Amino acid sequence: MQVFEYPDKSAWPALLQRPVMDTTALEANVGAILQDIKQQGDTAVRKYALQFDKVQLNELQVTETEFAHATAALDPALKQAILQAKQNIETFHRAQHEAGKIIETMPGVQCWRKAIAIDKVGLYIPGGSAPLFSTILMLGIPAAIAGCKEMVLCTPSNAAGEVHPAILFAARQVGIDKVFKIGGVQAIGAMAYGTDTVPKVYKIFGPGNQYVTCAKQLINKEGIAIDMPAGPSEVAVLADDSCVPAFVAADLLSQAEHGPDSQVLLVSTSMNVIKAVQQEVASQLAQLPRRNIAEQALTHSRLVLVQDMENAMELLNAYAPEHLIIACKDDITLADGVVNAGSVFLGNYSPESAGDYASGTNHTLPTNGHARAYSGVSLDSFVKKVTFQRLTKEGLQNIGATIEAMAAAEGLDAHKNAVSIRMNS
């Protein structure tokens, strides 16, 4: 991990650069796979499952028998943990319901907005180096609360054609019955275009590797909605002398173990804190089963010493992290200065892992600086906000002259006439 002491603002863009790769070849390869799936459907899906996942899939959809076996096989303690997380996530997301309210903008002119669920949504759940069953809760719960009529879930199987039991248990708990043993680009293509087996959806959610991310971006260009632009996962930690270095190190490593292209950033006003965290990272890293992955992520991570908290917050807002931990004595006050972040964790006892799994907030968040303009997944992600208006005769008389004047000024006579013909009747 590189240490930067009091970097000048002119150096910030380079300092805050995410890991970059050349996507030219990637887009060409992914695009070819997507076109193959669009044309060949299930045949292409099976071909790529064999090529990339080394599995011969006779049946793409998970059966009721497999759901039952998963429930029976799963450790009771893990079942209870999933159910507790489900309850917290439901509580937080149900509170995001907005009651429709009719606004009378002037006498006889009423306007309102209504949230309508997206009919068909697709959820992608990675299952490679780690089966992310927690993401099923984060996506399936708000989809169910929103009232989406059809939820389609794709996740890769192992070489024996089996899906991790925690994934199936979590899916059933949130009301998802259509689960397909499809991973990678072929999963995104199947949900985007539809096949004989996999239903076509209107919006696709979920994380994935660079291939999945690229596939989502390409199908988005074709008119299929996606949750947000996404890249490798990341965390930034702001720490002062009140932090516990062992806690900070654990938070940095919990993010670094996601993947070699993950990034972690520590910003502090204290060199003592930076040195103590470095020592703790080295000590804890040696004990991690995913040590090799974390080590690769740490090679492009940063430790930054700044003059004061004002400078620190400016730097962090420029970075716009997916996750931001504020391990400082004035954490509540400092939180008021957060402008760009996906999700914020305050104090020494709020690890990012809490939001990843069970506190209630959603862990599907904007990465790669997209927190400057995007929010994380919420109930709103699964609905469309449709506006309505109703004008009475009196209302049109009150507003008619305004509309006529504006339409005439824009040279849109038919627009003006749509009002005038009513006014003169």
Q: Is residue 35 a known part of a binding site?
A: no
Q: Taking all residues of the chain, what is their mean pLDDT, rounded to a whole number? A: 95
Task: Give the residue among 178, 177, 207, 174 at the shortest CA–CA distance from 89.
Answer: 174
Q: Is residue 130 scored above 80 in pLDDT?
A: no
Q: Is residue 193 a known part of a binding site?
A: no
Give per-residue pLDDT as tens, 237-251. 999 999 999 999 999
What's the alpha-carbon Rg for the chain, to the nearest Å? 25
Residues with Cβ within 8 Å of residue 24, at least 6 apart in sequence: none
Q: Is residue 294 scored above 70 in pLDDT?
A: yes
pLDDT of residue 208: 86
pLDDT of residue 232: 85
Residue type, 356: D
Q: Is residue 97 a known part of a binding site?
A: no
Task: Give the residue among 59, 53, 51, 30 at the shortest CA–CA distance from 192.
Answer: 30
Give per-residue pLDDT as tens, 370-388. 999 999 999 999 999 999 9
Run of H or E residues at 123: strand 120-124
Residues marked active site are found at 322-323
Q: Is residue 129 scored above 70 in pLDDT?
A: no
pLDDT of residue 131: 86
Give per-residue pLDDT as tens, 160-170. 999 999 999 99
Q: Is residue 12 scored above 80 in pLDDT?
A: yes
Rounded Cα–Cα distance for residues 56 and 325 (Å): 44
pLDDT of residue 184: 94
Is 231-375 CATH 3.40.50.1980?
yes
End-to-end Cα spacing for the chain: 76
Q: DSSP character for 61?
A: B
Domain residue limits, the chain: 24-102+115-226, 231-375, 392-423
Cβ–Cβ contacts within 10 Å for residue 28, how many?
Answer: 9
259-284 mean pLDDT: 96
Among 15-29, 238-252, 394-408, which stretch is predicted with the lowest mean pLDDT?
15-29
Assess contact for 366 and 348: CB atoms under 8 A.
Answer: no
pLDDT of residue 230: 80
Residue type, 410: E
Assign a CATH topology to domain 24-102+115-226: Rossmann fold (3.40.50)
Rounded Cα–Cα distance for residues 365 and 324 (Å): 11
CA 321 from centroid of its chain's CA atoms:
13
Q: Is residue 233 a known part of a binding site?
A: yes
Give per-residue pLDDT as tens, 335-357. 999 999 999 999 999 999 999 99
Answer CATH for 392-423 from 1.10.3720.10, 1.20.5.1300, 1.20.1740.10, 1.10.274.10 = 1.20.5.1300
Rounded Cα–Cα distance for residues 364 and 362 (Å): 6
288-296 mean pLDDT: 94
Q: Of all residues in the chain, what percent carry a pLDDT higher than 90?
A: 91
Q: Is residue 415 a known part of a binding site?
A: yes
Give per-residue pLDDT as tens, 300-343. 899 999 999 999 999 999 999 999 999 999 999 999 999 999 99
Edge-to-edge strand ranges of the sheet holding 383-391: 103-106, 109-117, 383-391
Same topology, domains 24-102+115-226 and 392-423? Answer is no
pLDDT of residue 128: 63
Q: Is residue 258 a known part of a binding site?
A: yes
pTM above 0.75, yes or no: yes
